[in-house]
Structure 1
Amino acid sequence: MTDDLPKGFRAGTAAAGFKTTGRDDLGLIVSDRPAVAAGLFTQNAFKAAPVLVCQELLRRGGPVLAVLANSGQANACTGDEGIVNCRATQLLAAQAAGLAPNDILPISTGVIGAQLRMNLWRAAIPALVQSLGRRDAEGFTRAFMTTDAFPKFASRDIGLSGGGARLTVMAKGAGMICPNMATMLCVALTDAATEREPWQAMFRRAVAFTFNRVSVDGDTSTNDTILGLANGASGVAVQSPADLALLEEALTGILGQVAHMLVMDGEGAGRVIHITARGAADETDAERVARSVGHSQLVKTAIYGGDANWGRIVTAVGYSGARFDPDRVSMALCGVERFCHGQPVNDDQEARLAELLRGKDVTVEIDLCAGSGEYTLQASDLGHEYVSLNADYRS
């Protein structure tokens, strides 16, 4: 059952009842040998207790052996008691699994502001540890899902100069998605051997081109975390710049694959909007434009309704703060040019666009004609279910 995990990693889960009874909401990944760890975290000023604990452990620079994940309790904005409780969960898992508390990186998701229900943790930890080796990537991912409609995970094999290695990524996220350094929660594992500095550096670059270019609702969580563990259990080491490039290419590809799943699963989402802003004065301006369009509630609801209301897109470009001449801007929706050099075009394409907008993927291309800057962003549309899910989130 564990053949989709890299060598040397075992997964276990348990149902603690943190929010919903009868479903796994606690997960543990253990490496059979010390692993090199990398991590990126939320830039929200209110960082959850597990984020602060993970950051402290990674600053020490030593190897780690495990990741402890839970849903139903974010342990965010919980003060000193939240830190104490987070460390207590590490101790509980460590004692049961024969590890040291500082071997374990904790990640959490759920309602903000509530203290951990430690009685439930104590009751569930024995079953969690007993299940180690009996869960696969999907099982572990399901243990830290919240409003996700489906588990998000992927694996791929990498051919390095010394042989083959495996890379597996598991993530959760459907709402409160506008990552800033990371995504909601994500764990990446590989059985290749690599050094800490290049491992961390490639994570930073890969996330910049994947998770940091998706948005569901414009909200950056208090708990955003991505962790990467490389344990070398395959016996294959990253030995050369070419190997590093191959590993980074695979990492960027698989993170991009999982990031796309996050947008596809945006709470109540029906479509992914692929926004490209080009011809900007620089990349920063291009990003401003892409994010302005991707965060616009009016744009997102129009796409949800299949309404080719390109005026909402142009308006969002206009208030983005980017530098450009409005009389030089052009825009195409689903490959159909609707706005060219400040003038409307192709007003006879409504029927064709209505058909194109029924697809799961919608493209928006904006050319500012102001330079060479370019940026891409994936955003979800916004429908009734998003409001329903978030209005009842704590019930």
Structure 2
Amino acid sequence: MADWQEITGGVTAPKGYRAAGITAGLKPSGLPDLALIVSDVEAIAAGVFTTSQVRAACVDYCRQHLQSKAIARAILCNAGQANAATGSQGVLDAQESAELLAKELNITPELILLASTGVIGQRMKMDALRGGIPKLVAALSETGSDTAAGAIITTDLVPKSIALETTIGERSVRIGGIAKGSGMIHPNMATMLAFVTCDAAVSPHLWQEMLSRAADRSFNSITVDGDTSTNDSLIALANGESRTPAITEMGAEAEKLEAMLTAVCQHLAKAIARDGEGATCLVEVQVTGAHDELSARQIAKTIAGSSLVKSAIFGRDPNWGRIAAAAGRADVPFEQENLQIKLGDFLLFENGQPQPFDRAAASAYLKQAAAGAYLKEDTVLISVSVGNGHGSGKAWGCDLSYDYVKINAEYTT
């Protein structure tokens, strides 16, 4: 049983945070497109970013700032233009946005982190940004998480938000998060933006280590379409406003905090996979019996990312051969006779042999998951065992529908 409870409030649930989201005129649609999260005090900052060689200006900006000093007060995110592959002018635009916000907040630009999402190759609309930042700061609120969550999305159908609370040192500690992502989603990192706030006091190196591990078990374990992006950013702030003793090394309290951080990230990651472009259901792949956790996750991610598996799920076809084939090409050694595959409660393959099962009932299970889209009942569970090892891991994805092609065929036209 989890040692925490879900609460409302998103990124403003932890003490000492305000947030806002407004329409600044960055998106052609006229929908909200500029978001801000601010800590009342300086916060320890950590980040995990895209591994792409083609990166947005905001990614390089954040990396440089976090490497020199892992402290921040604010996260500014624009939606509509990715400001990626925009050359030196894109870098100047990013720097100017930080300077404009710093002036409005009366802090130094070094305390601001940046994120962008939208069409690659398009610079931010600076005139709209210049006019929007004063309005954005004026809109900051201790209950502004939902408006911020709504202002960072692009092709998402729903905003993603979560907040959890636990007790450390007899004091309440909270972690909140918001995220966006729907297409171009694949591990390493997945194409997404996620912002996490925490009111515990944690040392910089430990907070970064916790976030990196949480990312591997969440955002780096989801896939929608096998594509990654230029702007992926996971940024987490910890401002110490809960007034708990500082956590500086691994131990019971650190493990408790990291477990809650991982739970927040996994909730947001699954919400992204569930909201995959054109998707009708969430797919969870659980792998056990591997040599170690990394091997298990690699098999799980390969299965979740298989276009053939995803297409079969959309067609409500319990074709276990595609699952077996994906597991076999994951570049993880295992003996075929140790392979077991289950779809929900249906045993499809065991000890290297096909098993008799009710194909119509298994197909109905897949149909039921699709009928529950955007609800907790929408999950298709694929369970795979590859041996007697202690390694286990999970990955999340979605089915592949006709609508995915339509959405992305018309993305800029």
Please indicate the TM-score interval, normalised by the length of the shorter structure: over 0.9
Contact 2:202-2:246 within 8 A present in 1 as well: yes
Q: Which amino acid aligns with 2:412?
A: R
The answer as to 2:115 corresponding to 1:107 is yes
Aligned counterpart in structure 2 of residue 190 of structure 1, from 189, 193, 198: 198
Q: 1:130-169, aligned counterparts within 5 Å?
A: 130-133=138-141, 136-169=144-177
> Which residue of the partner structure matches residue 356 of structure 1?
365
Partner Cα distance (1:150, 1:237) in 2:
37
For residues 74-113 of structure 1, give each alpha carbon's deviation from its aligned partner in whole angstroms, at most 9, with x where no partner exists. Answer: 1111222211111011111112222221111000111111
For residues 308-367 of structure 1, give each alpha carbon's deviation from its aligned partner in whole angstroms, at most 9, with x where no partner exists. Answer: 1222222223333332343443322222122223332215x1121122112221122223
SS in 2 for 1:293: helix
> Which residue of the partner structure matches residue 129 of structure 2?
121
Aligned counterpart in structure 2 of residue 229 of structure 1, from 237, 257, 281: 237
Partner Cα distance (2:394, 2:310) in 1:
16
Contact 1:288-1:320 within 8 A present in 2 as well: yes
- Deviates most, 96-105 or 320-329: 320-329
SS in 2 for 1:110: strand
Give ranges in structure 2 of 5+ residues lacking alignment.
Answer: 1-7, 370-377
Partner Cα distance (1:168, 1:239) in 2:
18
> Which residue of the partner structure matches residue 258 of structure 1?
268
> Which residue of the partner structure matches residue 302 of structure 2?
292
> Which residue of the partner structure matches residue 42 of structure 1?
50
Give 1:179 shift.
Answer: 3.2
> Which residue of the partner structure matches residue 314 of structure 2?
304
Partner Cα distance (2:24, 2:359) in 1:
52
State the aligned residue count: 394
For the structure 1 residues 343 and 26, does the alpha-carbon distance in structure 2 shift closer, same or farther, using more than 3 Å as the test?
Answer: same
The answer as to 2:186 corresponding to 1:178 is yes
Partner Cα distance (1:232, 1:281) in 2:
38
- Deviates most, 179-188 or 350-359: 179-188
Give 1:181 shift.
Answer: 4.6
Q: Which amino acid aligns with 1:7?
A: K
Partner Cα distance (1:81, 1:144) in 2:
23
Contact 2:341-2:384 within 8 A present in 1 as well: yes
TM-score by length of 1: 0.93
> Which residue of the partner structure matches residue 319 of structure 1?
329
SS in 2 for 1:71: strand
Give 1:230 shift.
Answer: 1.2
Aligned counterpart in structure 1 of residue 344 of structure 2, from 328, 334, 339: 334
Give ranges in structure 1 of 5+ residues lacking alignment.
Answer: none
Contact 1:269-1:380 within 8 A present in 2 as well: yes
Q: Which amino acid aligns with 2:360?
A: A
Give 1:238 shift.
Answer: 3.5
Partner Cα distance (1:142, 1:192) in 2:
26
Q: Which amino acid aligns with 2:139?
A: S
Quote the RMSD (CA, aligned, Å).
2.1
Partner Cα distance (1:57, 1:319) in 2:
39
Aligned counterpart in structure 1 of residue 392 of structure 2, from 355, 358, 374: 374
Give 1:383 shift.
Answer: 0.8
Partner Cα distance (2:289, 2:201) in 1:
41
Give 1:53 shift.
Answer: 0.1
Q: Which amino acid aligns with 1:305?
A: G
Partner Cα distance (2:176, 2:383) in 1:
33
- Deviates most, 119-128 or 312-321: 312-321
Aligned counterpart in structure 1 of residue 63 of structure 2, from 49, 55, 58: 55
- Deviates most, 327-336 or 110-119: 327-336
Aligned identity (percent) is 38
Contact 1:281-1:371 within 8 A present in 2 as well: yes
Contact 2:184-2:190 within 8 A present in 1 as well: no
> Which residue of the partner structure matches residue 343 of structure 1?
353
For the structure 1 residues 188 and 329, does the alpha-carbon distance in structure 2 shift closer, same or farther, using more than 3 Å as the test?
Answer: same
SS in 1 for 2:39: strand
TM-score by length of 2: 0.89
Q: Which amino acid aligns with 1:352?
A: A
Q: Which amino acid aligns with 1:177?
A: I
